[in-house]
Structure 1
Amino acid sequence: MSISWTEEVSNETVANTSSEFHLEADFQYSLFPVIYSIVFVLGLIENVLALFFLSCRGEHTSHSSVYMVNLALVDTLFVCVLPFKIHYHLNQNNWVFGDMACRVTGTLYYINIYLSIAFFTCICVDRYIAVLHPFTYIQIRVTHYVMVVTVLWVVALSVTVPLILGGPLHNSGVRNTTACFENFTTSSWTYRMAPYNILALVFGFVIPFSIILISYPLIARRISQIKHSICKRKALSTIYIILVICTLCFLPYHLTHLLHFLMRTQVIQNESFTTLIYKMRRITLALVSLNCCLNPILYYFTSSSKQWHFNFKLRFRSKRVYTICDQNFGESSYVYILHQRHGNKNHRAGIN
């Protein structure tokens, strides 16, 4: 989440060993507006509703919902800047909103990517502790979650300071249009941006995604050892949904960006392969924004707010008393209830 990750190349000139050639992808001028329009409408509605249910009715949520509130918040901030990007791509990648608006828009784009991955990782670790170390989990307080979230926001905002204070606007030179976060030179990629790209790839995606991949089989194995594990299966579903979102949205983007980085540093110099990489990158840049529409699925399946819909039904369920020694909640507990009811009847009969 740094300067190295803020390039959206529209019609860029790549230096080859003997000549220069232009990379074109005219489909992007319709692809980005369509995808971003869908994400803007659905993402705004879904995440605003998620913020309402997770924040305004916080008494029904768990401690881990702190992560989900912040995930919905960063998604909401992202979809709010999408109209600017829609206008930008509709006008053949020509930015007309000024330098500061370009920096803020581009910064929020990449904050959304890496904070989303960070919050996904925190949710998976939370589920891992809850399932495999339940006694440790009950000792964790809300303040611990707030501290983790605060650290993540501070790191994200501090890393984006160079983006906001820098000068990322460049004239593309092809149609005399003003590009936003584009057209960095090959020398900049080779010397200035290489360390940022490597660090962002390793610490921004590879390590968090590996933690998510490791958490899933560990929790699955633990759940397979428990017969009655509705809550445990809920934890497994949480990580499964996160895996699907990461695989569909973030994994293709980072794979193509790695190839794009190798192309910009001239490690890859094949012209036909370079053209393919460029087109794949345009598609994955649009695809990564779909996480804002998919994240609310995670809120629905993991939030305890679903109990609001069943409170009326639950009130009519029979109440049973179980002793702390009951393991299978079997016949002994039920007999205990019958004896209690029989005693109450005899007591009322004596009073009458």
Structure 2
Amino acid sequence: MYSNYSRLNTTEETLQDVHSSATNVSTEQMSPSPCPLLYSDYQFTLIPVLYCVIFVLGLAGNSVVVVVLCRHHGPKTVANIYIFNLAMADLLCLATLPLWAAYYAYGYNWIFGSVMCKISSSVLSLNMFASIFFITCMSMDRYRAIVYPIRSQRRTLQQASLIALLVWGLACLSSLPTFYFRDTYFIESLGVNACIMAFPYEKYAKWSAGTALMKNTLGFLIPLIVIATCYVWIWMHLTKAREFRKNKQKRDKVLKLVAAVVVAFLICWLPFHILTFLDALARMNIIDNCDITTVIDTTLPFGICLGFANSCINPLLYCFIGHQFQEKLQHLFKLRVYQFNSTRQSSSSRKGSYLKEAETPGDCDKERLNCKPTL
């Protein structure tokens, strides 16, 4: 039931780095650990299935968001710019999921080449940071719109676009270590060509701990503090606001959405970041209990699945639940149905007109004469 792998050069430096945890580069780059790494074989079948499900659902949801926002002819808003960029970040991440599903299915054997290893890993890291940063921006924007509605009207699309560019730039900078160190290496003992992070042996512990700390702090802790603070203030404002006190149903709907955003963020990302932090401690031999390291190595793939699942949940939370987005989606759907019916009616009208012209009295007589049986 279990496959034994030596816990050698294993890193979790990006969202998918658990894929390298069953591999090593060489004996010169070993990260010493007395504990063997146990992997249950069902991971190599269950994880690819979960990835495929997340890929299909996330691709459908985020594609609908992008199409609706692009086809909407009304005035654009600041929130729409953030939602569009969030959907694009999720789509970039989802585009690489089939590759990582195959990586698991082939037992950590990367068959797509060194360049795709580096690009796919960097895209995942980029998505992780960009998604969380855009969720943070949307939380701050929602806070301003609800708590300071008059002041928030000063926001411009140019400012939102500039912030979006800064977010992408910061996400790219945060992903540079992944782009630099990620590469493919043939693991002779396992007979696989693995896509792994190859830190310098002399500074392996420092690089591993540093990237994990950056990921935990910049990619989760700081955004979580900002998001939680914004929504706590929104909650306090709504419970005190006279308008929302009168309309309890409207207030409760907004508060439930606020709670859903925070809870979904925690469910999707907290397990991954806790396991990543514990894994970094294990690499520095601060945690040397083999039972704990086994639990970390076994559960980390599923923590990553939860992180990927956030790409499916984002469209539901930020778009489909929203009343304005539902109206845009219905308008687009009705427009498509109207265009389809108009095309059919136009085609039927042309056909009917042709038949009517063909059935004029003179033509009918001629047709009858021509249709007489002949010997």
* Candidates 5, 8, 11, aligned match of 2:22: 11
- The CA deviation string for residues 222-252 of structure 1, in whole angstroms up to 9 with x for no partner, is 1112243377666544432321221121111
Residue 306 (1) aligns with residue 326 (2): yes
* Candidates 233, 244, 264, aligned match of 1:245: 264
Q: Is the 8 A contact 2:109 2:192 kept in 1?
A: yes
Which residue of the partner structure matches residue 75 of structure 1? 90
Q: Is the 8 A contact 2:86 2:131 kept in 1?
A: yes
Q: Is the 8 A contact 1:104 1:164 kept in 2?
A: yes
Secondary structure (helix, strand or coil) at the match of 2:190 reads coil
Which residue of the partner structure matches residue 259 of structure 1? 278
Given residue 13 of structure 2, which amino acid in structure 1 is its aligned partner? S
Q: Is the 8 A contact 1:47 1:76 kept in 2?
A: yes
User: Could you say if the C-alpha distance between residues 161 and 41 of structure 1 is closer, same or farther in structure 2, counting changes exceeding 3 Å?
Assistant: same
Residue 145 (1) aligns with residue 155 (2): no
Q: Is the 8 A contact 2:68 2:328 kept in 1?
A: no
How many angstroms apart in 2 are the aligned matches of 1:273 and 1:185?
A: 26
Given residue 271 of structure 1, which amino acid in structure 2 is its aligned partner? C
* Candidates 141, 144, 152, aligned match of 1:129: 144
Shift of 1:28: 1.9
Shift of 1:185: 7.7
Which residue of the partner structure matches residue 279 of structure 1? 298
Which segment drifts farther, 152-161 or 209-218? 152-161
Secondary structure (helix, strand or coil) at the match of 2:77 reads coil
1:93-108 alignment to 2 at 5 Å? 93-108=108-123
Given residue 305 of structure 1, which amino acid in structure 2 is its aligned partner? F
Unaligned stretches of 5+ residues in structure 2: 1-10, 25-30, 332-375
Shift of 1:39: 1.0
Shift of 1:218: 1.2
TM-score by length of 2: 0.75
Q: Report sequence identity in percent.
A: 24
How many angstroms apart in 2 are the aligned matches of 1:309 and 1:85?
A: 32
Cα RMSD after superposing both structures: 2.6
How many angstroms apart in 1 are the aligned matches of 2:254 and 2:284?
A: 42
Q: Rg: which structure is higher? A: 2
User: Could you say if the C-alpha distance between residues 232 and 69 of structure 1 is closer, same or farther in structure 2, counting changes exceeding 3 Å?
Assistant: farther
TM-score by length of 1: 0.79
Secondary structure (helix, strand or coil) at the match of 2:36 reads strand
Which residue of the partner structure matches residue 194 of structure 1? 209
How many angstroms apart in 2 are the aligned matches of 1:37 and 1:245?
A: 21
Which segment drifts farther, 5-14 or 140-149? 5-14
Unaligned stretches of 5+ residues in structure 1: 312-352
* Candidates 226, 238, 261, aligned match of 2:241: 226
Shift of 1:263: 0.7
User: Could you say if the C-alpha distance between residues 207 and 200 of structure 1 is closer, same or farther in structure 2, counting changes exceeding 3 Å?
Assistant: same
How many angstroms apart in 1 are the aligned matches of 2:45 and 2:262?
A: 29
1:61-72 alignment to 2 at 5 Å? 62-72=77-87
Given residue 258 of structure 2, which amino acid in structure 1 is its aligned partner? I
Residue 111 (1) aligns with residue 119 (2): no
How many angstroms apart in 1 are the aligned matches of 2:129 and 2:187?
A: 27
Task: Report how many aligned residue pairs link the two structures.
Answer: 308
Shift of 1:257: 0.5
